[in-house]
Chain A
Amino acid sequence: MGNDGVWKCPACETKAEVKGRTLSIHIIGHIFPKHNDCEFAKTIDDIDFSKLEKIGASKEEREGQEGQGA
């Protein structure tokens, strides 16, 4: 999937992993979203990934890279 991977919101530093149509959000504390226009507060179909920073590959991509390296 094109958007699979680990993403970070530059405004609130919230991190989330996208895998297919599953969004896994990790936060410290119990308030979400941290601000009104957080992309992670939108549905997975509506997130504008150009406003987020990609900080890691998806699990499949990581495994694929490890497989190539071996």
Chain B
Amino acid sequence: MAAVDEILALLKNEVLVSFKGMRDELKGMRDELKDLNRTMKDIREIAGSDFAFDPLRYVTWKLRSGEAIEDKGGYYLLIAGGATTILTMANIEGYVWIGIREKSGTSQNGVFELTRQIDEAALPWIYIQRLVEEEVDWFETMPFGLVIRETVTVTLTNHDPLPQWFTGSYYGIYLRKDVWEKDLKLMDLLADKYSHPPEVDNG
């Protein structure tokens, strides 16, 4: 019996040592999995920010979620010789206007003096002394570049003695202002976090 007890004790000790080894090994694996999980989370966040920085994917995402609505239209202004027309276009309430593509046409090139003012900016965004037909693509600057928060104002003076017309047609996106502000903050947070990679301990 003594021999049996001795054998059992030895086995027990062996099992305990073996368990301890396994436990240490499992703990190591668990730590590695945690590291991996953290890395995956970072990769997901970075991939998410890439997604938001890509204009087309961002717009598609926001249109699908209902946070943005498409906006198509245009304007036609008939201006007497020597007269000025100022057209102030306000966003529908609670929305910013982004991703705009605009094409303008005139009945006579070189007779209009055009100034475009965005929101309450001190300086004009565009000033053209003798306008010819133009095409403006603001799409690539969105959603965090050129954003019309409230109004865009077009001032046109017809320097021709005869009446002339000016027309603008566009495609744009109305994005909910609160969504845009929230996404802007998220982008800032991500930029802060990932523009400076953490220091690597090379041992």
Is B13 positioned at the interface, with any CB of A under 8 Å from its CB?
Answer: no
Is A69 positioned at the interface, with any CB of B under 8 Å from its CB?
Answer: no
Q: How far is the CB of A58 from chain B (nearest CB, A)?
A: 14
Is B179 positioned at the interface, with any CB of A under 8 Å from its CB?
Answer: no
Asked if A28 meets B80 with Cβ closer than 8 Å, knowing A23-B85, A43-B163, the reply is no
Is A26 positioned at the interface, with any CB of B under 8 Å from its CB?
Answer: yes
CA distance A42 to B77 in the complex (A): 8
Kindly specify which of B19-27, B38-46, B68-76 makes contact with the partner chain.
B68-76
CA distance A58 to B91 in the complex (A): 25
Is B142 positioned at the interface, with any CB of A under 8 Å from its CB?
Answer: no
Asked if A30 meets B89 with Cβ closer than 8 Å, knowing A21-B84, A43-B83, the reply is yes
Is B170 positioned at the interface, with any CB of A under 8 Å from its CB?
Answer: yes
CA distance A24 to B80 in the complex (A): 14
Is B92 positioned at the interface, with any CB of A under 8 Å from its CB?
Answer: yes
Q: Place the interface of chain A in its size category.
A: 10 to 19
Q: Which residues of A contact B86 (CB under 8 A)?
A: 22-25
Interface 0/1 of A37-60, CB less than 8 Å to B: 000011111100000000000000
Is A33 positioned at the interface, with any CB of B under 8 Å from its CB?
Answer: yes
> Is A43 within 8 A of B79, CB to CB?
yes
Is A11 positioned at the interface, with any CB of B under 8 Å from its CB?
Answer: no
> Is B87 within 8 A of A27, CB to CB?
yes
Q: Which residues of A contact B75 (CB under 8 A)?
A: 30-33
Q: Which residues of B contact A32 (CB under 8 A)?
A: 75-77, 87, 89
> Is B85 within 8 A of A28, CB to CB?
no
Is A29 positioned at the interface, with any CB of B under 8 Å from its CB?
Answer: yes
Give the A-binding residues of B (Cβ under 8 A): 71, 73-80, 82-92, 97, 163, 170, 172
Ranked 4 nearest A-B pairs via Cβ: A43-B80, A31-B73, A32-B75, A24-B86
25 A-B pairs (CB sep. < 8 Å): A21-B80, A21-B84, A22-B85, A22-B86, A23-B85, A24-B85, A24-B88, A26-B90, A27-B88, A28-B89, A28-B90, A30-B71, A30-B73, A30-B97, A32-B77, A32-B89, A33-B75, A41-B77, A43-B80, A43-B83, A44-B79, A44-B80, A44-B83, A44-B85, A45-B83
